[in-house]
Amino acid sequence: MNIRNFSTRVTFSFAILLAACMAWTRPAIASGDDQAVIAATRKYLAANSYPSGMKVVVEKVEGDYARVAITPRDPKFDGALIFLKREHGGWKKLTIGTGWDPADLDKLHIPKSLRP
């Protein structure tokens, strides 16, 4: 075996492994915006007597608006979506539910790209 071929194979294998690790861990690392959106969502849920332990997933952030999916631990209950808006540096709840009239979302100025 020639050293050059071995070195090329090792470098190529390392690059593939590194790319796979980065692709796998990227979703697990939340951005600063995502962390703030999750914190605001959890604060809203706690203040409004929602069950503890709800799974909170930021689905998409566009500008100053975010769409978050919340899923209860108990599968007999439905999950919901919550829309938030960044105001004065913090995230505030706009609406929460399982379905909306597009006219209502227009009134809240929620971008069409965030709508379910």
pLDDT by residue (tens digit) across 3-20?
A: 666 555 645 555 454 454
Q: In what order do the strands lie in the sheet with 90-97?
A: 55-62, 65-71, 80-87, 90-97
What per-residue confidence (pLDDT) applies to 9?
A: 60
Q: What is the mean pLDDT of residues 85-101?
A: 93
- Whether 105 has a pLDDT exceeding 80, the answer reads yes
What per-residue confidence (pLDDT) applies to 102?
A: 93
Query: Residue 34 to residues 17, 29, 31, 43, 109: CA-CA distances in angstroms?
Result: 27, 9, 5, 14, 20
The tokens describing 71, both together, are 């899923």
- Whether 28 has a pLDDT exceeding 60, the answer reads no
| Strand intervals (E) in the chain | 55-62, 65-71, 80-87, 90-97
Q: What is the mean pLDDT of residues 23-50?
A: 77
Fold of 31-114: Nuclear Transport Factor 2; Chain: A, (3.10.450)
Q: How far apart are CA 30 and CA 71, in angstroms?
A: 18
Which phi and psi (to 5°) does residue 98 adopt?
-115, -10
pLDDT by residue (tens digit) across 44-76?
A: 999 998 888 889 999 999 999 999 999 998 888
Domain range summary for the chain, segments of one domain joined by +: 1-29, 31-114
What per-residue confidence (pLDDT) applies to 26?
A: 40
Q: How far apart are CA 41 and CA 68, in angstroms?
A: 8
What per-residue confidence (pLDDT) applies to 53?
A: 84
